[in-house]
Structure 1
Amino acid sequence: MKILYLLRHAKSSWKDTSLDDFDRPLKKRGRRAGKLMAAYLRDQDISPGLILCSAAKRALQTLRYVHQSMDANIAVEIEEDLYHASPKGLLERLARLDDGVDQVMVIGHNPGLEALAANLAGDAEAGSLKRMARKYPTAALAVLKTTVKRWRELGPGGARLEQFVCPRDLEI
């Protein structure tokens, strides 16, 4: 069984209009969401064998929060190609993963991340698919489980959406 965690970067700031989109940092709300999601990951004992992260600043800052909540030995790969990755591009990247890694987290961007999650989810926990289809907000996490033995076997409808968690679900 393979498990895929698709985490959208936390909320970014548009305050400095001189910055390229790639260089936008997290805003205060995004930093708070990053901490909430990190706590959730820790509480759920989510610890993937590998994290693939977009090289965009807001994704890297999101990574910092979540990685701190996990085992320090988790491998991290920063990839520029994840910045504007299409669902097809993301799936092709996953197909190249080492099959010895059973759990992978991708920290990336919409619309590619959301479309990939929707494409893979052939089945879902009650209500999760509807919630995800309604909106895949910043810092939201989709947890997809599949019975494939090799990442290259993963395809449309080939996973079950086990959870869809948003920062607002975790706020007190």
Structure 2
Amino acid sequence: MTRRLILMRHAKSSWDDPRLDDIDRSLNARGQSNAKTMGAWLKAQGYFPDQALVSVATRTQQTFERVAQGLGMQPELRVIDRLYLASELRILQELKKATGQTVLLIAHNPGIGEFAARFAKNPPAHGDFLRYPTCATTVFELGAENWSEVRYGANPVLDFAIPREIDI
């Protein structure tokens, strides 16, 4: 059975409280809505993750919660310190430890956007793919038999979406 990666940047976060550390910023109202929309989109497309690898940041965990609501299911969750503001190399290192069949990974820019660009065998022509805006989501088919063997440039893109283009 084919393995898949659902790669998502966290949804739009709030900057309302300048006293908060970056790691503690939560989603704003638009971010909450967008994350739920992306979950519903994943469900409508038939992409059901059985495992989620999520950065320790509040906004990534809240993104996961809203995505799970939209999906109508709760994948196994692993909150990972090393995904907070991770480089594309660190994201690859953490992904190699995955155990699910379809893995949802939620992290931050610039690392997640750089990872998406390098991971793709066939980057989509979409104008926002390289920018990887908040809640951008790419679905990859794995170009390897298992997670420990994944590498850059070998993974076909099945889908790419951003919230403002979704009509669920």
Fold match (TM-score > 0.5): yes
Which of 129, 135, 140 is the equivalent residue of 1:139? Answer: 135
1:54 equivalenced with 2:55 (yes/no)? yes
The CA distance in 2 between the partners of 1:58 and 1:41, in whole Å, is 19
1:171 shift after superposition: 4.8
Counterpart of 1:105, as a letter, is L
Counterpart of 1:107, as a letter, is I
Counterpart of 1:160, as a letter, is P
1:106 equivalenced with 2:110 (yes/no)? no
Aligned to 2:96: 95
The CA distance in 1 between the partners of 2:167 and 2:49, in whole Å, is 24
Residues 97-154 of structure 1 deviation map (CA, whole Å, 9 limit, x = unaligned): 23xx2211101111111111101112245x24x5402x21101101111231111221
Structure having the larger proportion of residues in strand: 1
Aligned to 2:166: 170
1:70 shift after superposition: 3.3
Q: Contact 2:37 / 2:67 at 8 angstroms: preserved in 1?
A: no
Per the alignment, in what secondary structure is the counterpart of residue 71 of structure 2?
A: coil
Unaligned runs of 5+ in 1: none
1:69 shift after superposition: 3.1
Aligned to 1:152: 148
Per the alignment, in what secondary structure is the counterpart of residue 156 of structure 2?
A: strand
Q: Contact 2:14 / 2:28 at 8 angstroms: preserved in 1?
A: yes
The CA distance in 2 between the partners of 1:102 and 1:63, in whole Å, is 18
Q: Contact 1:121 / 1:161 at 8 angstroms: preserved in 2?
A: yes
Aligned to 1:64: 65
Q: Contact 2:36 / 2:70 at 8 angstroms: preserved in 1?
A: no
The CA distance in 2 between the partners of 1:97 and 1:146, in whole Å, is 12
1:71 shift after superposition: 5.6
1:73 shift after superposition: 5.2
TM-score, length of structure 1 as denominator length: 0.89
Query: In the comparison of the two structures, how many residue pairs are matched?
Result: 167
Aligned to 1:117: 116
The CA RMSD over aligned residues, in Å, is 1.7
The CA distance in 2 between the partners of 1:118 and 1:6, in whole Å, is 11
Unaligned runs of 5+ in 2: none
